[in-house]
Amino acid sequence: MRPTPEKPGPGQESVWDYPRPARLESFTGRITVELGGAVIASTDRGWRVLETSHPPTYYLPRDAFVSGALRGAPGESWCEWKGQARYFDLVSGTTVAPKAAWSYPEPTPGFEPIADAIAVMAGQVDRCTIDGETVVAQPGGFYGGWITSRVVGPFKGGPGSMGW
């Protein structure tokens, strides 16, 4: 059963207006990722993947990450829109966030710009920001969307949202 979408205010987007299948778009704005008390990634450009009922998933260029922050991790998964994903541990000093990041080395058609770009599970690091605003992780621990004041839901991932 589809939930009732929240009405967006000025400058906001409803995740219920996002497409299915998912769409990729460029993003220009300051994105940071912090772990172990340090900024491990920072960029002013990236990409957003937009999909109905999901807050945007942000992908950062690999060169946004400081040296040593990405460590290959075992395991793969399949996305019906983007293809085969591989995982990374995020590392900052002695702090490790296991399998907290992923990429698509050979994404499906339409998603080629994010080849080897890195997405981060916001709930597994100290903090992620978009233009200085601290993001909230998409509920549920499986999806990688970042919630900011720019998007309204409800968002897939929480209890009762499996069939959305």
pTM listed for this prediction: 0.96
| Structural domain harbouring 34 | 13-152
Place of tokens 């075992």: 74
Q: Provide the CATH number for the domain around residue 23.
A: 2.170.150.40
- For residue 117, tell me if it sits in a domain: yes
- For residue 163, tell me if it sits in a domain: no
- For residue 93, tell me if it sits in a domain: yes
* The 3-state secondary structure of 48-106, one letter per residue: EEEECCEEEEEEECHHHECCCCEEEEEEEEEECCCEEEEEEEEEECCEEEEEEEEEECC
Over residues 125-134, mean pLDDT:
98
Q: What is the pLDDT, as a whole number, of residue 144?
A: 95
Q: What is the pLDDT, as a whole number, of residue 14?
A: 98
Q: What is the pLDDT, as a whole number, of residue 142?
A: 84
- Which of the pair, 81 or 90, is modelled with greater confidence? 90
Q: What is the pLDDT, as a whole number, of residue 1?
A: 73
Number of domains in the chain: 1
- For residue 161, tell me if it sits in a domain: no
Q: pLDDT band at residue 2, thresholds of 50, 70 and 90?
A: confident
- For residue 119, tell me if it sits in a domain: yes
Over residues 61-76, mean pLDDT:
97
pLDDT tens, position by position, 9-66 = 999 999 999 999 999 999 999 999 999 999 999 999 999 999 999 999 999 999 999 9
Over residues 119-146, mean pLDDT:
96
- For residue 159, tell me if it sits in a domain: no
- For residue 128, tell me if it sits in a domain: yes
Percent of the chain at pLDDT above 90?
89
- For residue 160, tell me if it sits in a domain: no
